[in-house]
Amino acid sequence: MASKKEERLTNYRSAKGLIDFFNSIFSEIYNELRGSFPGELEFRGFELSPETPEGGEVILYIYRPRKEKERFVKYAIFKTLPYAEEGTVGIIGRKWNDLRPFERVLKENGIDYTYVATNPYNTLGVEELLHLLRWLANPEDKKSLFLLLSSRMFGLTHTEALKVVLTGEFPEELKEFQEICEETRKRIDRELHSVLILHLLTKLNYLDALYLTNFESYHSITEVVNEIYNFEKQEPLSFREIIWYIENMGKNRDYSLTSKVTVKKGYVLTTIHSSKGLEFDSVVVVPWKRSWNYSNFFYTNIGFAAKLYSIENLPEESPYFNMLKELDSYLDYLEEKNLLYVALTRAKKQLIAGVNPEGRKKFKIGSFVFDREKYEQYVDYGKEGKIYSFEEKRNFRQSKLYEADYVKVVRPSSHDESFESERNPYIPSGISPGEYGTIVHALCQAFVNGADREKAVKFALSFSFVPSEELKKRLQEIYSLLEKEYNYLRENSEVEVPFELVKEGKIIRGRIDLVRYLPEGIEIWDFKTGLYSEEKVKIYQEQLRLYREAFKEAGKKVANLKLFFIDENRLVTVEEPACK
């Protein structure tokens, strides 16, 4: 069966230099590098129009994905700043998780950005949320309970979930979940449902799990809950009306999500499907290949597929799992091609793509391998001097904090602040310990980045679904404390520092609240909003040990480890023996 040929039309958007590059690289991807699948298309080059402008810059920035990803991010932003000042720069990735490093660098440097996303109601995370809400509304809805128990939220096998549904007996490990849901059910139609849902998901630790494992689902759920909150402020809805609203918004193909303020000049973060029909003066392509994850769940491009029997099991041990992996690999390959085609054809004047070295004579864009010699004119080898001026502006200086009105970023606390024998008297009423921790962390981040009192408090309040005067007053008190006793944290410090550690066959990732760069070495701080206790210090020591180990592997000397219990203004230096 012969492959189908598709005639490509004239490209009226891109400059001549970009079109020449597109035609060359697309010809390889679609014709020379394509597999044997008979349905694949052949590519015929774009034709130039009389209006095609001259010029066009293409940069293939070579970096090592594991060690130099952040260097590529900073370089790409540095090179596109002139285009962002005069027009728009599109940063296009396969998934939202790919865009998070760019979001963080833009935010930390006070650079305005917006985002364009597809319908958040039509995602796997919101689908799982609906199973939970339907069962809360009707305890006799056995179908929703079955789908909930066998979803990522709990991960029971079909047999285990069916047994619970038929007998009504929850296993011991799900007793707490049952109690939380029964208590939540009593509060239905008695308070704002958006707040009720948020507190429930926080208690179940579901949002924290999604934040680490599936940011797309996390992002969609927080956006949906936030939109429900805004809707409820205008018009009260019953719990069943909330469910109906979410269901119908998921069916609305015309619905899409954008940030509150559209930046006409600046950066736009978007994905493949969301970027169709758009155009940008400059485009940064983020072709990071999705890593294969052997875990209790088997994630693929078609969503949640199957649950493995244990972490040790590999797909190759089963013909079914092996077939599933092969199918997923092919879908992954098609999505990579789609990313390159869509992203590259959005660019008008400049294109930057991150590529990885493949030996001395080749490089890779995603999984596609090309001869370096053929594209030598476009290659940038990533010398440090290329990004020096951008680094100079960033390092150890107060940076402008981005306005919270541009992008609402919800950061769940990575620390469990809820295991307390008594209520924290410093927490304002109506706020859970987890939400309070997130808000205070945001305030500390703003303070260290140089924000004044008004801007820092405003930024922190944007992380609360129900801001109150009591909360605002508490944040002002904390800001006063930081300003009076910890103003030195604004010098030679960085907040939200990412770390990665490979330990005992596992990859551990996270963020460090604050890192100080001192002559005697690095000082690591961990902010805590719970009450002080020796038991907590012992628990948090283990976390600080991982931070220390990660810096040690990077060749850095760690001088001190600090636990800062903010509410009680208690700074604890972790003893050296505990961290060896």
555-577 mean pLDDT: 84
CATH architecture for residues 124-255: Orthogonal Bundle (1.10)
What is the distance in angstroms between the CA of the first residue and the CA of the last residue of the chain? 64
Q: How many angstroms separate the CA atoms of 206 and 15, rounded?
A: 47
pLDDT in tens, 263-307: 567 888 888 777 767 889 999 988 765 554 434 334 333 333 333
pLDDT in tens, 214-253: 666 787 788 888 888 877 776 777 888 888 888 877 665 4
| Residue 14 binned pLDDT confidence (cut-offs 50, 70, 90) | confident
pLDDT in tens, 337-384: 878 888 788 888 999 988 888 888 888 887 788 888 888 888 887 654
In this predicted structure, what is the pLDDT of residue 464?
76
Q: How many angstroms separate the CA atoms of 76 and 57, rounded?
A: 13
In this predicted structure, what is the pLDDT of residue 136?
92
Instruction: State the angle between helix axes of 239-251 and 124-137 in degrees (0 to 180), rounded to the nearest 10.
Output: 150
> Is the per-residue pLDDT at 207 higher than 60?
yes
Q: Which among 194, 309, 305 has a CA at the least distance from the CA of 243? A: 194
Q: How many angstroms separate the CA atoms of 458 and 462, rounded?
A: 6
- Name the region of 169 (left: φ>0; alpha: ψ -120 to 50; beta: rest): beta
CATH of region 493-579: 3.90.320.10
**Neighbouring C-beta atoms of residue 347, cutoff 10 Å:** 29
- Name which CATH class applies to 5-118+260-393: alpha beta
> Is the per-residue pLDDT at 20 higher than 60?
yes
Q: How many angstroms separate the CA atoms of 522 and 227, rounded?
A: 41
In this predicted structure, what is the pLDDT of residue 361?
85
pLDDT in tens, 312-325: 455 555 566 666 66
Mean predicted lDDT score pLDDT of the chain: 75
In this predicted structure, what is the pLDDT of residue 407?
30
Tokens 């996270």, located at residue: 510
In this predicted structure, what is the pLDDT of residue 2?
41
Q: Which residue has the higher pLDDT, 269 or 155?
A: 269
Q: Are strands 493-503 and 506-518 parallel, antiparallel or unpaired?
A: antiparallel
In this predicted structure, what is the pLDDT of residue 314?
53
Please name the residues in contact with 14: beta carbons below 8 A apart, sequence gap of 6 or more. 22, 46, 52, 56, 345, 347, 348
Output phi, psi for 237, to 5 deg.
-125, 145
In this predicted structure, what is the pLDDT of residue 102?
86
Q: How many angstroms separate the CA atoms of 492 and 397, rounded?
A: 7
Q: Where are the domains of the chain?
A: 5-118+260-393, 124-255, 493-579
| Residue 22 binned pLDDT confidence (cut-offs 50, 70, 90) | confident
Q: Which among 497, 496, 513 has a CA at the least distance from the CA of 554? A: 497
| Residue 568 binned pLDDT confidence (cut-offs 50, 70, 90) | very high
Burial of 180 (0-12, 13-18, 19+ CB in 10 A): middle
> Percent helix, strand and coil across the chain, each rounded to 5?
45, 20, 35
Output phi, psi for 194, to 5 deg.
-60, -40
- Count how many Cα atoms sit within 13 Å of the Cα of residue 6 in the half-sphere of its side chain: 12
In this predicted structure, what is the pLDDT of residue 284?
92
In this predicted structure, what is the pLDDT of residue 481?
95
Q: How many angstroms separate the CA atoms of 112 and 402, rounded?
A: 7
Q: Which residue has the higher pLDDT, 175 or 397?
A: 175
**Neighbouring C-beta atoms of residue 255, cutoff 10 Å:** 14
Please name the residues in contact with 158: beta carbons below 8 A apart, sequence gap of 6 or more. 150
Q: What is the pTM of this model?
A: 0.50
Tokens 């006799």, located at residue: 140
- Name the region of 396 (left: φ>0; alpha: ψ -120 to 50; beta: rest): left
129-143 mean pLDDT: 91
Encoding tokens for residue 203? Answer: 């208690």
In this predicted structure, what is the pLDDT of residue 394?
33
Q: Using an 8 Å Cβ cutoff, are 544 and 563 in contact? A: yes
Q: Using an 8 Å Cβ cutoff, are 188 and 239 in contact? A: yes
Q: How many angstroms separate the CA atoms of 500 and 542, rounded?
A: 15
Q: Using an 8 Å Cβ cutoff, are 409 and 176 in contact? A: no
| Residue 508 binned pLDDT confidence (cut-offs 50, 70, 90) | low
DSSP 288: P
- Name the region of 492 (left: φ>0; alpha: ψ -120 to 50; beta: rest): left
pLDDT in tens, 396-412: 333 333 333 323 333 33
Q: Using an 8 Å Cβ cutoff, are 433 and 529 in contact? A: yes
